[in-house]
């Protein structure tokens, strides 16, 4: 028999008596926080327990042995929820410590006790039970419970929750109670489960609130860092705007400075583009004036001009076998040669009266101080572009060259009226010559000697030209500056 003993404080108002062994039969629906009340069939006792009973153990003090015989029907003391029955009276005396003991019996021992009780009930009479019952009610009952001595039920933790949390808890409780209406689980156990669930929910809520605080703190840090980055970005944008403004001022100052020492703003790239445009205009003009299948070509006039230039004598093709395509190439070379002679092939400028003297002085200065010599040449070009007299001379030279080329084109090509286009060619050639002279390194024409083999590095072939032959006709000369790896424009040649 397993026995668990829990020491209790001895009751001072009752004398020592043998222990009473009770078998506690609690109903399944016991409510731990309800105050038990005892229903008595005859009269009530005024005795109260010094402390409220435990939810699972009823504090029973020793009662004096008031009879000699055992009753077949021991009195039953019942509360609203628990039921306590006196199943057996022990005749042994309490220990010297006078402590109350509560013995717990297993199921087998309970069955043996019930068998013994049934045997005793056959031998006992009803009179003994009445005497015991009367004496029992007259003695002060230490195990009577006063409801006022029971500690009030603690307030629910949900009172500390927010309004939304309380509504959620109430909805959850209602859901659980609805789902458990048909469940065989007693209300007390259901209440315990609800309390556990509420505790778990409260713990989860606390954890969620803690995580929320951590996330908010992290979010605040990120927001602060983003604001700092935004501020740095604004500072950098301001610095960048200031630098852009400074660069614009520097660029404007540089261009102003360049204009003071250079006649134009052209560089190697713009000069190369303008030179290619000039060559394309010449080709387009000759192609247009010759007409369809060279119908407007005056072959006799073209051959006569070819012969007078002295090139026809060494030309590999006989005069009688000259095709219109070769004569048209020859006329392109004539126009370009006239422009080079009038505008490009000058020491300084075609409108400067002291070209011969300038060449001697420039060579003298360049051998002693090339930087000063270059600055002096550039400043002279600027003065020529701004001088009204030089502008008048430019107009006169352009007009003269235009008239000469117009007369030549009209003689070779019938029905030709290209004076406007020829004047445009002359103006572009003059401006290009000034830009070439105003650079730090002067760009000048480069002539290819006739009769040499074709070199693709410095030459470009024309229509019906052989790359394996020799140079027979120079259509456009090349242009190159004084630097070895500087500007260079290839010559256009015809090879046989």
> How would DSSP label each residue in 105-125?
--HHHHHHHHHHHHHHHHH--
Q: What b-and-e string marks burial along 267-298, b requiring 16 or more CB atoms within 10 Å of the CB?
A: eeeebbebbeebeebbbebbeebbeeebeebb
* 11 domain-assigned: no
* 13 domain-assigned: no
- How many domains does the chain fold into? 3
Q: Are residues 284 and 420 in the same domain?
A: yes
Q: Are residues 124 and 195 in the same domain?
A: no
Give yes or no for a contact between 262 and 438, defined as CB atoms under 8 angstroms apart.
yes
For 24, other C-beta atoms within 10 Å of its C-beta total 15
* 9 domain-assigned: no
* 125 domain-assigned: yes
Structure-token pair, residue 425: 């060619």
Q: Are residues 323 and 249 in the same domain?
A: no
Torsion of CA 98, 100, 106, 108, to 10 degrees: 60
Q: Are residues 190 and 310 in the same domain?
A: no
Could you say which of 119, 149, 179 is where a domain stops? 149
For 377, other C-beta atoms within 10 Å of its C-beta total 22
Q: Are residues 250 and 287 in the same domain?
A: no
Distances (CA, A) of 50 to 59, 86, 96, 147, 165: 10, 21, 22, 12, 40
The counts of H helices and E strands in the chain are 11, 9
For residues 335 and 332, what is the distance between their CA atoms, to the nearest angstrom?
5
Of 484, 480, 481, 490, the C-alpha closest to 455 is 490
* Strand blocks (E) in 177-280: none
Could you say which of 233, 261, 289 is where a domain stops? 261
Give yes or no for a contact between 434 and 349, defined as CB atoms under 8 angstroms apart.
yes
CA distance between the termini of the chain: 135
Q: Are residues 367 and 467 in the same domain?
A: yes
Q: Are residues 380 and 352 in the same domain?
A: yes
pLDDT number for residue 179: 57
Q: Are residues 97 and 214 in the same domain?
A: no
Query: By residue range, what is the domain housing residue 189?
Result: 155-261
Q: pLDDT in tens for each of the 496 residues of the chain?
A: 444 444 444 444 444 444 444 444 444 444 444 444 444 444 444 444 444 444 444 444 444 444 444 444 554 444 444 444 444 444 444 444 444 444 444 445 555 555 555 555 555 555 555 665 666 556 555 555 555 665 555 555 545 667 777 787 778 777 766 655 555 555 555 566 778 888 889 999 999 999 999 999 999 999 999 999 999 999 999 999 999 999 999 988 887 777 677 777 788 889 999 999 999 999 999 988 888 878 889 899 999 999 998 888 889 888 888 889 999 999 999 999 999 999 998 999 999 988 889 999 999 999 999 999 999 998 899 888 888 999 999 999 999 999 999 999 999 998 888 889 999 999 999 999 999 998 888 999 999 999 999 999 999 988 888 888 899 999 999 999 888 778 899 999 999 8
Q: Looking at the DSSP assignment, which residues form a beta bridge with residue 474?
A: 493
Could you say which of 216, 240, 261 is where a domain stops? 261
CA dihedral (216, 218, 221, 223) positive or negative: negative
DSSP 340: I
Q: Are residues 178 and 324 in the same domain?
A: no
For residues 295 and 54, what is the distance between their CA atoms, to the nearest angstrom?
133
Give the containing element (helix H, strand E) for 201.
helix 187-261
* Strand blocks (E) in 375-421: none
Q: Are residues 268 and 239 in the same domain?
A: no
pTM greater than 0.75 (yes/no): no
Q: Are residues 303 and 434 in the same domain?
A: yes
* 3 domain-assigned: no
Nearest-5° Cα angle at 343, 453 to 283? 55
Give the containing element (helix H, strand E) for 480.
strand 478-480
For residues 256 and 353, what is the distance between their CA atoms, to the nearest angstrom?
28
DSSP 307: H
Q: Are residues 336 and 482 in the same domain?
A: yes
For 151, phi then psi, to 5°, come to -65, 135
* 1 domain-assigned: no
Torsion of CA 169, 172, 173, 174, to 10 degrees: 120
* 163 domain-assigned: yes
Q: Are strands 444-446 and 459-461 parallel, antiparallel or unpaired?
A: unpaired
Distances (CA, A) of 237 to 225, 226, 248, 401: 18, 16, 16, 56
């Amino acid at each position: 028999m397993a026995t668990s003993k829990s020491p209790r404080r001895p009751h001072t108002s009752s004398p020592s008596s043998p222990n009473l062994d009770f078998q506690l039969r609690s109903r399944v629906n016991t409510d731990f926080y309800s105050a038990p009340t005892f229903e008595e069939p005859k009269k009530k006792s005024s005795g109260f327990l010094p402390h409220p009973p435990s939810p699972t153990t009823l504090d029973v003090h020793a009662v004096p042995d008031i009879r000699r015989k055992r009753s077949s029907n021991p009195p039953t003391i019942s509360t609203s929820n628990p039921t306590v029955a006196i199943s057996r009276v022990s005749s042994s005396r309490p220990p010297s410590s006078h402590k109350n003991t509560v013995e717990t019996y297993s199921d087998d021992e309970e069955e043996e006790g019930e068998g013994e009780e049934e045997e005793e009930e056959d031998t006992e009479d009803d009179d003994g039970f009445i005497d015991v019952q009367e004496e029992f009610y007259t003695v002060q009952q230490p195990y009577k419970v006063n409801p006022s001595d029971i500690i009030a039920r603690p307030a629910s933790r949900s009172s500390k929750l927010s309004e939304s949390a309380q509504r959620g808890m109430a909805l959850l409780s209602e859901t659980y109670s609805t789902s458990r209406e048909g469940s065989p689980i007693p209300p007390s156990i259901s209440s315990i489960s609800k309390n556990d669930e509420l505790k778990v929910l409260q713990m989860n809520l606390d954890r969620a609130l803690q995580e929320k605080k951590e996330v908010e703190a992290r979010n605040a840090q990120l927001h602060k860092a983003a604001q700092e980055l935004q501020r740095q970005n604004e500072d950098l944008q301001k610095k960048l705007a200031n630098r852009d403004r400074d660069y614009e001022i520097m660029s404007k100052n540089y261009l102003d400075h360049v204009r003071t020492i250079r006649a134009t703003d052209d560089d190697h790239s713009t000069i190369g583009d303008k030179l290619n445009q000039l060559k394309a205009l010449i080709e387009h003009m000759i192609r247009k004036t010759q007409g369809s299948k060279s119908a407007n070509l005056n072959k006799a006039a073209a051959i006569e001009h070819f012969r007078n230039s002295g090139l026809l004598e060494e030309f590999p093709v006989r005069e009688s076998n000259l095709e219109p395509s070769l004569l048209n190439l020859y006329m392109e070379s004539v126009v370009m040669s006239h422009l080079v002679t009038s505008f490009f092939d000058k020491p300084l400028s075609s409108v400067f009266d002291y070209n011969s003297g300038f060449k001697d002085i420039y060579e003298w200065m360049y051998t002693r101080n090339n930087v000063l010599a270059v600055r002096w040449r550039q400043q002279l070009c600027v003065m020529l572009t701004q001088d009204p007299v030089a502008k008048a001379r430019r107009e006169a030279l352009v007009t003269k060259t235009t008239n000469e080329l117009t007369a030549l084109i009209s003689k070779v090509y019938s029905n030709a009226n290209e004076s406007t286009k020829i004047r445009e060619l002359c103006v572009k050639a003059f401006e290009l010559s000034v830009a070439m002279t105003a650079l730090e390194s002067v760009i000048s024409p480069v002539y290819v000697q006739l009769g040499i083999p074709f070199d693709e590095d410095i030459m470009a072939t024309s229509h019906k030209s052989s790359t394996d032959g020799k140079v027979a006709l120079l259509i456009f000369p090349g242009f190159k500056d004084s630097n070895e790896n500087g500007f260079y424009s290839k010559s256009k040649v015809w090879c046989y």
